[in-house]
Amino acid sequence: MFTNIVIFNKVSLLSKNNQCLLAISLALAAGALFSACLDVPHAPNDTQKISEVSVFARQFDEAIEEPIKINSNEQAELIAEVTPGKYKNRIKYYWYNGDEILDSGATYTISTTYMASSFLSRNFIPDRLLIKDNEGNTLETTFSVNVNNPPQILAETIPANGDTLYGNSHTPFLFSWQSFDRDGSKGLENVLEIDGVQYKVGELQQVMQSGFSEGRHTFRILVTDSLGDKDSTDKQEFFVFGTPEAK
């Protein structure tokens, strides 16, 4: 109201021609402003702003990117990641196995129960992630999770922990153990560690070793499968004593 009075007072002081020009100018200005308002686009939704969605796993406090391989002995977590990350809390996340929705949320926990059998792994571990904004727009990504059963070494070894061996530096002593791959695959790499020195022995599980001085010695066995998962025995000790005749 106050603005109209001021404009009217100013216009009344102008000539008719000038009044006409001013009216046209005001009309054009108003029309241009109205057109500009119509041309302003709607703010893009969040999924249009997100350029990428991906999935990685976390296990043993380590991030595992694709290809995702997890150890069946320990619970793992799948984590959704979007780029740019600032939109991660503005969208919804849905985890699928095939066409079956398993859960929602930015993370998915894979318990050791789900890894206990191939049936559970096939049906309760996701292979697809879909994200959705408030307007129903979606983005998705597919991925695969490989569950690996790590190798295992039986606790019983030769020598046993605390054994006493009789001989001298020329006496060969037997080191024996049992390691196996629970997935049934081949290619285990065994390592015999004696007094802190590691000896790669491949797939062998029996080794004769000499050169021991008298006194206390330590050893342990380590095994690695083709996917890099490992097992090892605790460090054990044995004692070597010399005699006039090796027993």
Q: What local confidence, expressed as pLDDT, does residue 135 receive? A: 84
206-229, pLDDT tens digit by residue?
Answer: 999 999 999 999 999 999 998 888
178-210, pLDDT tens digit by residue?
Answer: 999 887 776 899 999 999 999 999 999 999 999
Q: What local confidence, expressed as pLDDT, does residue 118 receive? A: 84
228: region left, alpha or beta (phi > 0 left; psi from -120 to 50 alpha): left
CB burial string 70-94: b at 16+ within 10 A, e below: bbbbeebebebbbeeeeebeebebb
Residue 153's SS3 state is strand
Mean confidence (pLDDT) of the chain? 82
Greater pLDDT, 156 or 245: 156
46-148 and 152-241 share one fold: yes
113-144, pLDDT tens digit by residue?
Answer: 999 888 899 999 999 999 998 888 899 999 99
Residue with tokens 């890894």: 115
Q: Is the pTM of this model over 0.85?
A: no
20-37, pLDDT tens digit by residue?
Answer: 444 434 444 444 333 333
Class for the domain spanning 152-241: mainly beta
Domain definitions of the chain by residue range: 2-39, 46-148, 152-241
CB proximity list for 77: less than 8 A, separation 6 or greater = 57, 58, 59, 107, 108, 109, 110
pLDDT reading at 160 higher than 90: yes
Contact assessment for residue 133 and residue 166, using Cβ atoms and an 8 Å cutoff = no
Q: Which of 143, 155, 133, 20 is nearest to 70 (CA)?
A: 143
State which CATH number among 3.40.190.90, 2.60.40.10, 2.40.10.10, 3.40.50.1820 fits the domain covering 46-148. 2.60.40.10
